[in-house]
């Protein structure tokens, strides 16, 4: 059962049933659960799908409580998972959400050993790095507010999205509108700024050391032309996690599930079928 007091917006799809896995899908910074729309039919056929809008994003609650850091988001995800009565969990996260599913799997390794059956991390922000320009902008309240007011949320999102993909022709109006709608509200803009200011967790090195606790087989999926989270991050995760494998998708930037949906889904499904 979804906790009544959770600020997360949660959508459940798929029939599930005895013996089937539950897929927890976690989007990246500034995105929504709409990022998974092209993978959703295939995952629904495999089990229960739980799509999350992180606190402050999409259709989630956006309280002015100052608690938008990665550890805050992770605690909400852990609480959600434990409340759902999941027996076989497969977290799948992209970018910022990739870092969050790593933290979630690490926390669950202590609280519910064996619950995480497999893990998929797509271009996951897992270690300290140079922040991408769109996050740096969001950490500057006056510039962000001015850009949203003068240029408009859709144009800001379209420009940001084109800057992170390898082939800008993959950017379509559906995704732009889905990502831009929350930013057109005062609460959405405020939450984005709060999340950007807190995007680097305190004591990041200690937090990242917890990845070594994740025993579940892990797929690390990266675009060969990712300019947001460097491929070196995927290589480091592969070397430091007990059972991780890095797969690099050619002609692809930071968002494989939207840039190369069919190819990236085939890689994920092959991993799930092993």
Q: What is the pLDDT of residues 59-76, one digit of tens each?
A: 999 999 999 999 999 999
**Pairing mode, strands 119-122 and 218-223:** parallel
The pLDDT of residue 19: 83
Residue 77 has pLDDT above 90, yes or no: yes
Q: What is the rounded average pLDDT for all residues in the chain?
A: 91
pLDDT above 90 (res 133): no
Q: Given this model, what pLDDT does residue 148 score?
A: 65
Give the mean model confidence (pLDDT) for residues 79-99. 96
CB atoms within 10 A of CB 5: 7
CATH architecture of 9-129+201-273: 3-Layer(aba) Sandwich (3.40)
For range 162-185, the mean pLDDT = 84
Write down the domain spans for the chain: 9-129+201-273
> pTM of the predicted model, to two decimals?
0.93
């Amino acid at each position: 059962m979804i906790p009544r007091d959770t600020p997360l917006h949660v959508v459940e799809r798929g029939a599930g049933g005895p013996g089937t896995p539950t897929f927890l899908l976690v989007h990246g910074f500034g995105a929504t659960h709409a990022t998974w729309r092209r993978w959703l039919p295939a995952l629904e056929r495999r089990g229960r799908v739980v799509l999350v809008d992180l606190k402050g994003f999409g259709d989630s609650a956006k309280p002015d409580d100052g608690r938008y850091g990665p550890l805050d988001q992770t605690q909400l995800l852990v609480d959600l998972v434990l409340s759902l009565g999941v027996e076989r969990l497969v977290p799948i996260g992209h970018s910022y959400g990739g870092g969050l599913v790593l933290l979630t799997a690490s926390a669950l390794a202590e609280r519910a050993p064996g619950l995480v059956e497999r893990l998929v991390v797509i271009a996951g922000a897992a270690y300290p790095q140079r922040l991408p320009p769109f996050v740096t902008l969001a950490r500057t309240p006056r510039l962000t507010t001015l850009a949203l007011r003068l240029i408009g949320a859709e144009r800001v999102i379209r420009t940001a999205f084109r800057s992170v993909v390898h082939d800008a022709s993959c950017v379509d109006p559906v995704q732009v509108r889905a990502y831009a709608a929350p930013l057109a509200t005062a609460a959405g803009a405020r939450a984005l700024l709060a999340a950007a200011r807190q995007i680097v967790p305190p004591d990041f090195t200690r937090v990242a050391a917890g990845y070594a606790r994740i025993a579940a087989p892990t797929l690390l999926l990266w675009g060969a032309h990712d300019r947001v989270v460097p491929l070196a991050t995927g290589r480091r995760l592969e070397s430091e996690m007990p059972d991780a494998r890095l797969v690099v998708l050619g002609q692809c930037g930071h968002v494989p599930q939207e840039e190369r949906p069919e190819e990236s889904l085939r890689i994920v499904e092959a991993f799930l079928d092993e």
